[in-house]
Amino acid sequence: MAPAIRGFVTDLFPARPVAPAPGRRVYGPGMESPPIAPSRPVVTVLHGTEHVDPYAWIADAGDPEVLAHLTAERAYHDARVAPLAALRSELAAEMRARVPESETSPRWESGGWSYVRVTDPGLEYSRLMRRPAGDDAAADEVLLDLQEVHDAGGTGYLGEGLLDVSPDGRWLAWSTDAAGDEVYVLRFRDLETGRDLEEVVPRTYYGGAWSADSRSFLYTVHDETYRPFQVWRHALGTRVADDELVLEDLDDRLELELHGSRSGEWAVVSLRGRGFGEEWLVPLADVSTPPRLVRPRRVGVEYALEHAPGLGPGGADGFLVVTNLDAPEFRVEWAPVADPSAWSPFLHEDPSTRVWGVEAFSSGYVLSLRREGAAVVRVVPRDGPAYDVVPRQAGGMVRLGRNEDAASSAVTLVEESFVHPAVHRDHGWDGSVRERHRRTSVGVDLDAYVCERRSAAAPDGTEVPVVLVRHRDTPLDGTAPCLLYGYGSYEASCDPDWGIDWWRSLPSLLDRGVVFAVGHPRGGGEMGRRWWNDGHLAAKQNTFTDQAAVGEHLRDGLVSGVVTRGLSAGGLLQGALYGQRPDLWVGVVAEVPFVDVVTSMLDTSVPLTAQEWLEWGDPREPEQYARMAAYTPMWHLPEPGERPALLVTGAVHDPRVLVREPARWVARLRASDPAQGAGVDPAAPASPGTVLFRCETGAGAHGGPSGRYAELEYEAEVAAWVLAALGRP
């Protein structure tokens, strides 16, 4: 029996067990029949409504019985997709062939050094290297070989955390995750000797900052629910046990972030909630100084600071502040160093343009913007006219690259699309442009593909953007199949930098006559803050009807069958589309799907619950519960005869969507189907009604495998299944 049930908050809503259903058994690895989870119903009463959860026992992946069930599901998946082995290998070979044997990143300069990352032929991970800045004849020295770190770890997984060199160039703070659970071990390397110091911090999170004298390092720590909530200070050469707590926040609606300013003068501690937050400052010249609060948190008010010395009135030192205070699409304020809470107007709001961020340099500043659905950048010189840099391809984007030198004479910007690799260009403050670096995809004719933007009308008349990518020989006349991707949450924008290098995997589908579409439903940030406001909390249903409208638009004479795909909150989107509009799809790919919305949002012992109440709602409140209950996929399964083929993924080490969610969902789907999810043709991998659960039972993360080739092997698996569902194997 599994440990105590962690689904509903049983102290608020008492549970009572009922008799288990007879005849259920778990099939072992190598079975031909689907694995059926034992039914051990638990009844809970919430706001006067009784709910029965037959699979509440699927809670802890460390429990032997739970792990055995997950292993059986993976074995069943592997057996069902075995007929796709040749296609999968063919796709993987194509994708791998688009990767240059050796890859070199753009160089960047910092502290008198020129840095680069190089991935050698056949390897998954890169080496961090450097040489003296300006000395192009000098050989690069290796600071850290991540391939060696991966191989020594022995888990088959490597997640990269920090790679921060100290201001004096002597020390490297580096952290890695060997399981996929986003718990990073932090180490410090002496770059003169190449050896790591004995002091090791076993549990850290993203974000860090060096003191100005390179003798201390600030780092973040997360709690048992994976919420980053503390900043600690470590002095090199001392015991980790003697590290000092710098800042702690116990408001579990907020997550803590930490970074050092480009100027090297401040550590900025940001506490981010859904729609509110606050900032704290620590001078890097003396990191023992108590943090200074900028403005107290207030629900509904967001702000973020960027140190901008010399950019204030009369050349004053201070901060640029991006805020939504009295500006729904955000504006920029000025705050003096002497009193960062005293804001004055700097850049007024433009209701047609969402201001995402500002970056300050000695010669001016750069704005990251969202306009008409596209990510664009505005360069604003201190002396001279401002200019915008916009993507050249429909559905493309422009973003800020790596720029660590505040005194640089140019700003590195990156442009890419779903089929065009990233191009790094230096944009001078005088408007000049020089190409610095171009990522390559071997053997791809970029002119063979067409990218375009369209829109689909939602039921309320809202025009929902959709990006279409296809081979120039593939018509939009209703004869070509389609893969539709979507996310639609957290004001995140589904741009070409989303997840993986699409331009290495997509051509394998496009060359086979598949149209690739990316819907931008409300709940995302593609059309600004209003887009998020209209797609979360009470308006969450708009996300699902928007993407369904995109599916209808595609099927209305543009494409034939459609497979829909999404990950995490995008997996919730897939679960809702599967339950609400199964008629639109021939297949659904729900990766690490957040499908048990009410149950998870009641359980504060698991990651992300309290932080997410302002995204999804708090089901302890009857009204909010009612609207969440109306769409949570776990409670709204399509009729067995109406179900398209379904591929579900999960990972036992995933801290963002616990594996219990997809596991319980799949168990319910099997139990509610006379064919137990075997499909109308149990010999086929993706016939209608098929339910497959690809569970990572070993090391593996929320986003899947790590490594440049391993990621493509996974993409080849998904692509093979998608082609099977589309009838194009």
**Residue-range domain boundaries for the chain:** 1-97+588-697+712-729
Coil vs helix vs strand at 601: helix
Beta bridge partner(s), residue 651: 696
* Angle between helix 708-725 and helix 502-510 axes, rounded to 10 deg: 30
Higher model confidence: residue 7 or residue 594? 594
Q: Does the pLDDT of residue 139 top 50, yes or no?
A: yes
Provide the whole-model pTM: 0.93
As a whole number of angstroms, the distance between CA 703 and CA 88 comes to 20
- Judge residue 105's burial from the number of C-beta atoms within 10 Å of its C-beta, 0-12 exposed, 13-18 middle, 19 or more buried: middle
Annotate 459-475 with DSSP letters as a single string: TTSPEEEEEEEEETTS-
Q: Which two tokens stand for residue 710?
A: 């391993």
Closest by Cα among 342, 536, 547, 401 to 465: 547
* Contact partners, residue 564, CB within 8 Å, separation at least 6: 483, 484, 485, 486, 547, 551, 574, 577, 584, 585, 587, 588, 589
As a whole number of angstroms, the distance between CA 187 and CA 176 comes to 9
Q: Give the DSSP letter of residue 106.
A: P
Write down the residue that tokens 């391809």 correspond to.
393
Q: Given this model, what pLDDT does residue 637 score? A: 98
Q: Does the pLDDT of residue 405 top 50, yes or no?
A: yes
Residue-wise pLDDT tens digits, 362-393:
999 999 999 999 999 999 999 999 999 999 99
Residue-wise pLDDT tens digits, 274-291:
999 999 999 999 999 999
Closest by Cα among 19, 70, 179, 255 to 664: 70
Give the number of other CB atoms < 10 A from CB of residue 408. Answer: 18
Write down the residue that tokens 């450097």 correspond to.
130
Q: Taking all residues of the chain, what is their mean pLDDT, rounded to a whole number?
A: 93
479, 388 contact by CB (below 8 A): no
376, 388 contact by CB (below 8 A): yes
Mean pLDDT, residues 60-88: 96
Q: Does the pLDDT of residue 5 top 60, yes or no?
A: no
Closest by Cα among 67, 65, 53 to 21: 53
Q: Give the CA-trace dihedral at 383, 385, 386, 387, to 10 degrees.
A: -140
Give the angle subtended at the CA of 662 by the CAs of 583 and 652, to the nearest 5°.
150
Beta bridge partner(s), residue 350: 353
The number of residues making up the chain comes to: 729
- Judge residue 83's burial from the number of C-beta atoms within 10 Å of its C-beta, 0-12 exposed, 13-18 middle, 19 or more buried: middle
Which residues are catalytic, by number?
568, 654, 702
Q: Given this model, what pLDDT does residue 596 score? A: 96
Of 27-31, 263-267, 562-566, which gets the smallest average pLDDT?
Answer: 27-31
Q: Does the pLDDT of residue 172 top 70, yes or no?
A: yes
* Contact partners, residue 77, CB within 8 Å, separation at least 6: 692, 693, 694, 695
For a pLDDT cut of 90, what percent of the chain falls above it?
89
Beta bridge partner(s), residue 591: 567
Residue-wise pLDDT tens digits, 247-281:
999 999 999 999 999 999 999 999 999 999 999 99
As a whole number of angstroms, the distance between CA 207 and CA 553 comes to 42
Q: Given this model, what pLDDT does residue 84 score? A: 98
* Contact partners, residue 193, CB within 8 Å, separation at least 6: none
354, 525 contact by CB (below 8 A): yes
Q: Given this model, what pLDDT does residue 706 score? A: 86
436, 412 contact by CB (below 8 A): yes
Q: Does the pLDDT of residue 592 top 80, yes or no?
A: yes
Q: Given this model, what pLDDT does residue 109 score? A: 93
Looking at 3.40.50.20, 3.40.50.720, 3.30.360.10, 3.40.50.1820, the CATH number of the domain 1-97+588-697+712-729 comes to: 3.40.50.1820
Q: Given this model, what pLDDT does residue 440 score? A: 85
Mean pLDDT, residues 351-359: 97
Give the angle subtended at the CA of 402 by the CAs of 397 and 404, to the nearest 5°.
145
As a whole number of angstroms, the distance between CA 350 and CA 329 comes to 7
Q: Are strands 482-485 and 515-519 parallel, antiparallel or unpaired?
A: parallel
As a whole number of angstroms, the distance between CA 334 and CA 316 comes to 10
653, 180 contact by CB (below 8 A): yes
Write down the residue that tokens 């075997």 correspond to.
678
Residue-wise pLDDT tens digits, 61-73:
999 999 999 999 9
As a whole number of angstroms, the distance between CA 282 and CA 209 comes to 10
Q: Which contiguous run of DSSP H or E holds residue 222?
A: strand 216-222
As a whole number of angstroms, the distance between CA 16 and CA 141 comes to 64
Q: Give the CA-trace dihedral at 464, 515, 560, 524, to 10 degrees.
A: -20
Mean pLDDT, residues 489-510: 93
Q: Which two tokens stand for residue 687?
A: 């016939």
As a whole number of angstroms, the distance between CA 579 and CA 631 comes to 9
Give the number of other CB atoms < 10 A from CB of residue 397. Answer: 23
- Judge residue 682's burial from the number of C-beta atoms within 10 Å of its C-beta, 0-12 exposed, 13-18 middle, 19 or more buried: middle
Q: Give the CA-trace dihedral at 583, 589, 594, 598, to 10 degrees.
A: 20
Closest by Cα among 160, 72, 158 to 700: 158
Mean pLDDT, residues 176-190: 94
Of 471-480, 585-594, 705-714, which gets the smallest average pLDDT?
Answer: 705-714
Higher model confidence: residue 32 or residue 278? 278
* Contact partners, residue 213, CB within 8 Å, separation at least 6: 167, 168, 285
523, 540 contact by CB (below 8 A): yes
Coil vs helix vs strand at 67: helix
Residue-wise pLDDT tens digits, 143-160:
999 999 999 999 999 999
Q: Return the half-sphere exposure (C-beta side, CA atoms, 13 A cut-off) of residue 292.
A: 16
Q: Given this model, what pLDDT does residue 32 score? A: 65
Mean pLDDT, residues 464-473: 98
Q: Given this model, what pLDDT does residue 700 score? A: 74
Mean pLDDT, residues 665-675: 97
Q: Given this model, what pLDDT does residue 441 score? A: 85
Residue-wise pLDDT tens digits, 595-619:
999 999 999 888 889 899 999 999 9
Q: Are strands 318-323 and 331-336 parallel, antiparallel or unpaired?
A: antiparallel
Q: In what order do the strands lie in the sheet with 15-17?
A: 15-17, 42-46, 49-53
Beta bridge partner(s), residue 16: 43
As a whole number of angstroms, the distance between CA 653 and CA 650 comes to 9
Residue-wise pLDDT tens digits, 198-230:
999 999 999 999 999 999 999 999 998 899 999
